[in-house]
Each structure stands twice: as structure tokens, then as C-alpha cells.
């Protein structure tokens, strides 16, 4: 297992080069994507199949999303995602056969735009391969991709970053990466007392369908429930 490069360390500890895997998943090998879908669904109970099918999509994309944002913000470069090989193990996806090399791009906005287009191309190819297998609503899948962008920003935050710029960056990533219309309101709220961001998701991942599962922080179903409860509160006389 190789040591993480410094530009990736603040983002997620599981994204690193690993020596072996039961299955390497790559968009250049469609059969590996199909095998990943089968393994993820088999790892969940029948009651959680809806969650498992949506999870296949987020598992395939979460590392490319985090890698992209890390490269732009802390690596001062862009990454070629086309030949990425991800480890599938125990019904999950984490780790890479090899970290892609950084292509230096000095100007921040230029490399953000370039990497966002690379990530969008990766997501579009992933969608074409996985959608016929998981049979989820396209709008829901693209919404989950947008949520992943905001989750990555939440994870990569530290006090040395500018809050306003961080929030604006999220909007730029979403507008470029997610090329399809999506539903739901995504947002980041800064919790000053905890010095961290709290995400408001726009799409539900259905995690609560797992045995003992709960709704995620910022779940849109919780937000809608709270909003409806507020509407039903009688007005004070």
C-alpha cells in the first residue's frame, strides 16, 4: 500500500494505491462494472435493493469526484480519469490500482474548468455503462453526483480556506459536471461553533432502507418532512 501524496491527504484516507483487489473496476472494461453491480447488490438485503442499486452509481463515482477536487485545490493540476482502476471489495469500492499522475496547470480557474469537464466525461461514460443494469431514474443519479461534489467540498474543507470562495466553487463544479436537469436543493451551511460545513443534500440515497439504517445528515426527505410539519402548525391567535 503506497503512501498518499500530500495533495490528497486532507480529502479521504481510503483513496490510495493498493496492491491487490478481488475485482478491479474500470470503465475501459465494461464487464468489470457489471461484476461490481452484482457484488454490491448481493452484499445487501432484498429490502435494501433500491439503496444498493443507487449505491452502485455513487461507489463508481465517489473517488473520481474526490480526486478531481483534491487535484484542483491542493495538487495544482488535473488528472486523466479515463484509465482509473478502482478496487471493489466486500461490496464496496475504495482504493486504486494506481494514482493517476498530475498534469500541472498553474491558473486555478483554468484547471477547475478542465478537470470539471474531465469528470463530466467520466460520469457520462459511467452512466452509459451502469444505467441499463441498475435501472434508476437518470435525474436521481445525476442528482446524487451533484451531492457527491458537495460532500467532497465538505470533506476537503479546513480553516485555511476562504468560506465564500469554497461555496462559489461548489456551484461552478455542479454547473459544469452535472450536464442534466436535476431536482432538489443542494447547499452548504457553515457551522461556526463546529468550524465545519453541513451539507443539505438534494437527492436521497435510500440508506435508511438498510436494516437499522438511518437517514443521512442533510437528507432531503427529512428536510421535506420538517417543511411540511411547519406548514401544518396552526397560526398563533
C-alpha 76: how far from chain center: 21
- String of DSSP letters for 178-195: --S---S--EEEEETTTT
Average pLDDT over residues 3-15: 93
pLDDT at 224: 56
Q: What is the mean pLDDT of residues 41-64?
A: 95
| 80 vs 127: CA distance, rounded Å | 18
Going from N- to C-terminal start, the domains of the chain cover: 23-232
* Percent of all residues in the chain with a pLDDT value above 90, rounded to a whole number: 73
Q: How far apart are CA 171 and CA 6, in angstroms?
A: 26
- Whether the pLDDT of residue 164 is over 60: the answer is yes
Residue 63: its pLDDT value, please? 98
pTM of the model: 0.91
pLDDT band, very low/low/confident/very high, at 232 (cuts 50, 70, 90): low
Q: How confident is the model at residue 78 (pLDDT cuts 50, 70, 90)?
A: very high
Q: What is the pLDDT of residues 111-145, one digit of tens each?
A: 999 999 999 999 999 999 999 999 999 999 999 99
Residue that the C-alpha cell 498534469 belongs to: 103
pLDDT for 228: 46
The CA distance from 50 to 41, in Å, is: 9
pLDDT of residue 196: 87
Distance of alpha carbon 31 from alpha carbon 37, whole angstroms:
10
Most confident of 34-48, 177-191, 195-209: 34-48
Residue among 142, 159, 139 at smallest CA distance from 10? 159
- Residue 63 and residue 84: Cα distance in Å, rounded? 10
Q: Is the pLDDT of residue 19 over 50?
A: yes
Find the distance separating the first CA and the last CA of the chain, reported in whole Å.
66
Q: Angle 108-134/49-74 helices, nearest 10 degrees? A: 160
β-sheet bridge partners, residue 197: 190
Amino acid at each position: 500500500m503506497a503512501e498518499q501524496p500530500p495533495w490528497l491527504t486532507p480529502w479521504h484516507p481510503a483513496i490510495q494505491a493498493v496492491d491487490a483487489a478481488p475485482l478491479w473496476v474500470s470503465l475501459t472494461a465494461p464487464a468489470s462494472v457489471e461484476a461490481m453491480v452484482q457484488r454490491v447488490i448481493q452484499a445487501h438485503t432484498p429490502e435494501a435493493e433500491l439503496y444498493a442499486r443507487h449505491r452502485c452509481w455513487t461507489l463508481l463515482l465517489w473517488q473520481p469526484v474526490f480526486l478531481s477536487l483534491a487535484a484542483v485545490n491542493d495538487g495544482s493540476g488535473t488528472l486523466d480519469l479515463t484509465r482509473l482502476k478502482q478496487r471493489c471489495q466486500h461490496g464496496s469500492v475504495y482504493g486504486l490500482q494506481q494514482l493517476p499522475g498530475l498534469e500541472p496547470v498553474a491558473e486555478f480557474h483554468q484547471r477547475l474548468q478542465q478537470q470539471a469537464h474531465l469528470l463530466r466525461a467520466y460520469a457520462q461514460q459511467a452512466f452509459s455503462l451502469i444505467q441499463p443494469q441498475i435501472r434508476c431514474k437518470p435525474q436521481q443519479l445525476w442528482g446524487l453526483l451533484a451531492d457527491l461534489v458537495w460532500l467532497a467540498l465538505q470533506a476537503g474543507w479546513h480553516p485555511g480556506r476562504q468560506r465564500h470562495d469554497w461555496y462559489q466553487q461548489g456551484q461552478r463544479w455542479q454547473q459544469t459536471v452535472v450536464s442534466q436537469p436535476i431536482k432538489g436543493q443542494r447547499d452548504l451551511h457553515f457551522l461556526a461553533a463546529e468550524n465545519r460545513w453541513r451539507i443539505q443534500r438534494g437527492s436521497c440515497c435510500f440508506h435508511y432502507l438498510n436494516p437499522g439504517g438511518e437517514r443521512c445528515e442533510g437528507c432531503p426527505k427529512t428536510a421535506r418532512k420538517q417543511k411540511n410539519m411547519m406548514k401544518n402548525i396552526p397560526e398563533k391567535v
